[in-house]
Structure 1
Amino acid sequence: MGKSTTRLHTAERQEQILDEAIRIIHEQGYSALAIRELARRVGISEPAIYRHFANKEDIIARILDRVLGMSETIKSNLVEVPSAKEKIREFVRYHFDFLERNPEITSVVFSENIFQINSILKEKLRAILSSRHGLLRSFIDEARLEGGVVDADSEDLAVLIVGNIRLIVLEWRLADFSFDLKDRGDRALRTLERLIFT
């Protein structure tokens, strides 16, 4: 294959590098993410990787930026949903649906050793969690105004919902993704509805 057919625009190449980095982490763990192996898989030289990213941590930071962008996607998708209760339901469904279609991303978000060694990455993960919680809290507050949720602190209810999502996804990972995440998520959602909706 000639150069003209493999040359990609900068943004496309960066996305390709990020996708391959996620695959490596998913298959072999964060410690296996080496620039040499990444370059080999993408089919470019090591210096070409460094033209796009400063180092491994920069690659992880960009992956986290991608995850952080999900909050805006969720928000824009749900802005037209009239019922706050339905926004909460769709918030939960979106996470299970997205992760079932992209199981590799769980290897990054759930890899604690990545965040223990780098404070910048730890802050990015905190920003993701804060953004997600803030969005969910706004839906809960809206549902409260509609008289649709129990009389409990919005932050506590958000933690209950997000914690439930994280635990189910962790169980799914530990089971080698062997069960249907969306089905399990739907069951959990029905339980959450009984706990938090009036």
Structure 2
Amino acid sequence: MGSSSRKRPVQRMNSARRQLEIVNAAFDCIAVSGHLSLSTTELAYKVGISQPAIFRHFRSKQQLHRAILEEANLRVIDELKLLISRSEMWSDPANLIQDVVAQMGGSFERSPGVWLTLICQRSIAAEAEMPADEHDGRSHKCAISQLTYTLERLFTAAKDKGQVDDHLDPHDVSNIILSILFGMGQIWLNSERNFDLQHRLDIALKGVLAGYHFLPDQPSGAIPISAIA
């Protein structure tokens, strides 16, 4: 009896390790397919187990999807927290915004499956007409909302310091930056990664941070617009 009880923690640890292997394999599949519709047969082959074995670790495909979403969110949140945890960096919020976007762009390059999972999560929430952070009832674990909130705070701080154009709205800008990150990342993947994602993101971000205004002799809805350096 004592011997059996001693083995249980090891079994649980092995199960947790196997669950993580399955989730990592799922990220690889998502990076290739671009969506969350996973083939459990392909997943099992990647991990080196039988298809029924997947459901010994996850009771259903829905539970597997939840595990994938949660792991994707936690990984990006951990990277974000590590970057912004150094308080001295907040003395230059405009530069920290660039650091955040560069870090997230690098994360997209290293783990595209993780980011595509977040993009899918955002799309699912949009289809359900609810914020991405409310879709699964775990708002504190939503990387999209955490990233949006961080960028908003940073942009507000940059405005207070006079580092960016005063007419730009922090909430709008944070959503624009996220859309650029998601959109540019998907273009990078669709083009078989044949351009420098970090460089493209840097150029786009500088344009956003520069701000814009309509030429004085044109109505508010007219084009072109001119950048404020």
Please give the TM-score of this superposition, normalised by the length of structure 2: 0.68
Q: Report the equivalent of 1:135.
A: 150
Structure 1 Cα separation of the partners of residues 36 and 70 of structure 2: 21
Query: Greater CA deviation, 15-24 or 188-197?
Result: 188-197
Q: Match of 2:174, as an amino acid?
A: A
Q: CA deviation at 1:93?
A: 0.6
- Per-residue CA deviations over 1:131-175 (Å, capped at 9, x if unaligned) read 221121121222233232322321012122212222212221331
Task: Extract unaligned runs of 5+ from structure 1.
Answer: 1-6
Give the aligned length.
190
Structure 2 Cα separation of the partners of residues 12 and 30 of structure 1: 24
Q: Match of 2:103, as an amino acid?
A: Y
| Residue 182 of structure 1 pairs with residue 182 of structure 2 | no
Cα distance change, pair 71–30 in 1 and its aligned pair in 2 (3 A): closer
Identity %: 25
- 2:188 pairs, out of 166, 172, 191, with 172
Q: Report the equivalent of 1:10.
A: 15
- Per-residue CA deviations over 1:90-122 (Å, capped at 9, x if unaligned) read 111111111112233344334489838x969x6
Cα distance change, pair 92–31 in 1 and its aligned pair in 2 (3 A): closer
| Residue 103 of structure 1 pairs with residue 119 of structure 2 | no
Structure 2 Cα separation of the partners of residues 96 and 113 of structure 1: 18
Q: Match of 1:12, as an amino acid?
A: R
Q: Match of 2:69, as an amino acid?
A: L
- 2:103 pairs, out of 82, 86, 94, with 94
Query: Greater CA deviation, 9-18 or 70-79?
Result: 70-79
Q: Report the equivalent of 1:149.
A: 164
Cα distance change, pair 178–132 in 1 and its aligned pair in 2 (3 A): same
Q: CA deviation at 1:89?
A: 0.9
Larger Rg: 2
Q: CA deviation at 1:194?
A: 2.0
Contact 2:102/2:201 (<8 A) preserved: yes
Contact 1:133/1:159 (<8 A) preserved: yes
Contact 2:173/2:208 (<8 A) preserved: no
Moved runs in structure 1, 4+ residues, more than 6 A?
A: none
Contact 1:71/1:135 (<8 A) preserved: no
- 2:79 pairs, out of 73, 77, 98, with 73
Contact 1:68/1:128 (<8 A) preserved: yes
Q: Match of 2:96, as an amino acid?
A: K
- Per-residue CA deviations over 1:52-79 (Å, capped at 9, x if unaligned) read 2222232222222223221243123222
| Residue 19 of structure 1 pairs with residue 24 of structure 2 | yes
Q: Report the equivalent of 1:193.
A: 209
Contact 1:75/1:135 (<8 A) preserved: no
Superposition CA RMSD, Å:
3.2
1:117-132 equivalences under 5 Å are: 123-124=135-136, 127-132=142-147
Structure 2 Cα separation of the partners of residues 64 and 113 of structure 1: 11
Please give the TM-score of this superposition, normalised by the length of structure 1: 0.77
Q: Report the equivalent of 2:53.
A: 48
